[in-house]
Structure 1
């Protein structure tokens, strides 16, 4: 029998055994929100789950113990609300959901958790939450947004972007690989927008949230017109391989 990594496919007894083996718990974290005229609202859920699953497979191939929870499907998406089709939480609600998941894992004996984020609006929040949970529960809780953790493997694959943006070349390509029915191919010619969420003169270190409606008429940041399933497979393989390498680092969990 193949080594099962999905929490929801394991029995309680099997999960207790994983905890005793010091298995890493990966919690995919996402959002349900608008993704331009050409993609369904579940993009971040599908991509966060897909990246988590592939990363877990890489860890298993390396001999590591791991389990992946179902995706946290909603997060902080106020900046997309004006487009419709979006569900958002406030920070207290979002952190409360994450706290309950991590607390449950800790109570069952798991000592290492990775909050693997797949939505830009959650990026700062998951890092704050992970720091709080490490202190609160006395276990190791790491957090990161997958494209922020491994930008060096993403950029060389893209033609028109320096990195992953929103409903863009990268996200659309990966969706064409994982869930092509969620991409409306006829709308791809419209699927482009500005190349940044920052205004002129605003450095990366200066945060000021704006509605995506004010930034992009289409809801896209980047250019999805050159997306392809082949590019998506390359991105998913490169991202998961690098994340596997990062999570195998024993110094991370020391």
Structure 2
């Protein structure tokens, strides 16, 4: 067995925690949903947990006192309510959960929280705006792990769900959970008929079962573990740098 990691709360005891002065708390937040025919329902959770742990390790090794909370495994899936066992948490439910977490941090004097997002349907920015006004003593921020590096440096095929990026990441993190790519659907996804929605400057949620037959969006055929490793190296390096800088920062003096 590996030794407990001091930056992973689930592996840490009270004996350690009571002596520690953590500077940044990281809350991974994923989702439980279908990912084409070749990736498991837990894909978003597996990925965000890996990224959180690896970024925290890198930051910890550089002296930042970071602690990663257990992942929340359900996300916003309001566009997938008819896909069996895609579990939906409404944004208002996420707000209620986060309010309770932030209230604990504020009471205990933990100064900074990063919500590390692993699911495209989650968007915590407006939630954190509301909570920041309620809990000014806790600095609140969020980031989405798969946007922490330029995907075009690693992948050529477009997509955003069970695509080449996600499949490559899973081939590196948990290859035993990935079915043979020959079994995967091609991830063909329909586009909006309305130009503004198609171009992205107007928005509405996608009704997933109308968009894609296999629940994927993007062809995973070109995925490799090597591409996943390269992406995750870049992502965790960038996120670790953010955590190091945030740990050292004074939230009252962030601008230059």
Give the alignment's TM-score, normalised by structure 2.
0.87
Matched position secondary structure for 1:237: helix
Instruction: Report the 3-state secondary structure (helix = DSSP H, G, I; strand = E; otherwise coil) of the residue aligned with 2:161.
Output: coil
Computing the radius of gyration from Cα coordinates, the structure with the larger value is 2
Does structure 1 residue 230 correspond to structure 2 residue 226?
yes
- Following TM superposition, the consecutive aligned residue runs of length 4 or more in structure 1 with deviations greater than 3 angstroms are 186-189, 195-201, 250-254
- 1:205, distance to aligned residue in structure 2 (A): 3.2
Query: 1:9: Cα distance to partner?
Result: 1.8
- 5+ residue gaps in structure 2? none
Structure-2 change in CA distance of 1:67 and 1:196 (3 Å): farther
Specify the alignment match of 2:153 in structure 1. Answer: 156
C-alpha separation in 1, matches of 2:174 and 2:80: 22
1:36 aligns with 36
1:130 aligns with 2:128: yes
Q: Distance in 2 between matches of 1:198 and 1:73?
A: 33
Q: Which residue of 2 aligns with 1:142?
A: 141
- Deviation sequence 1:1-36 (CA, Å, 0-9, x none): 876111122223432433xx3421000011111111
Alpha-carbon distance, 1:194 to partner: 2.8
More off after superposition, 23-32 vs 242-251: 242-251
Aligned-partner Cα distance in 2 for 1:195–1:177: 29
Q: CA deviation at 1:201?
A: 3.9
Secondary structure in 2 aligned to 1:114?
A: strand
- 2:19 is equivalent to residue 17 of structure 1: yes
Which whole-Å deviations, capped at 9, do the CAs of 1:199-237 have from their partners, x for residues lacking one? 644232322012111111111111111111111111111
Q: Report the RMSD for the aligned CA atoms in angstroms.
A: 2.3
Secondary structure in 1 aligned to 2:113? Answer: strand
Gaps of 5+ in 1: none
Deviation at 1:89, TM superposition (A): 1.4
Of 198, 202, 205, the residue aligned with 2:201 is 205
- The secondary structure found in structure 2 opposite 1:38 is coil
2:216 aligned counterpart, secondary structure: coil
Q: Supply the distance in 2 between the matched residues of 1:234 and 1:225 (Cα, whole angstroms).
A: 17
Q: Are residues 176 and 208 of structure 1, via their aligned partners in 2, closer, same or farther at CA, if it must alter by over 3 Å?
A: same
CA–CA distance in 1 between the matches of 2:224 and 2:170? Answer: 9
1:195 touches 1:222 (CA, 8 Å); kept in 2? no
Which residue number in structure 1 is paired with residue 68 of structure 2?
A: 68
Q: Does structure 2 conserve the Cα–Cα contact (< 8 Å) formed by 1:58 and 1:241?
A: yes
**Residue 206 and residue 17 in structure 1: after superposition, are their counterparts in 2 closer, same or farther (change >3 A)?**
farther
Query: Hey, what does 1:240 align to over in structure 2?
Result: 236
Contact 2:47 2:169 in 1 (8 A): yes
Per the TM alignment, residue 108 of structure 1 is displaced from its structure 2 partner at its CA by: 2.1
**Distance change in 2, residues 1:199/1:210 (3 Å):** same
Instruction: Give the aligned partner of residue 109 of structure 1.
Output: 109
The 3 A distance-change label for structure 1 pair 4 and 22 is closer
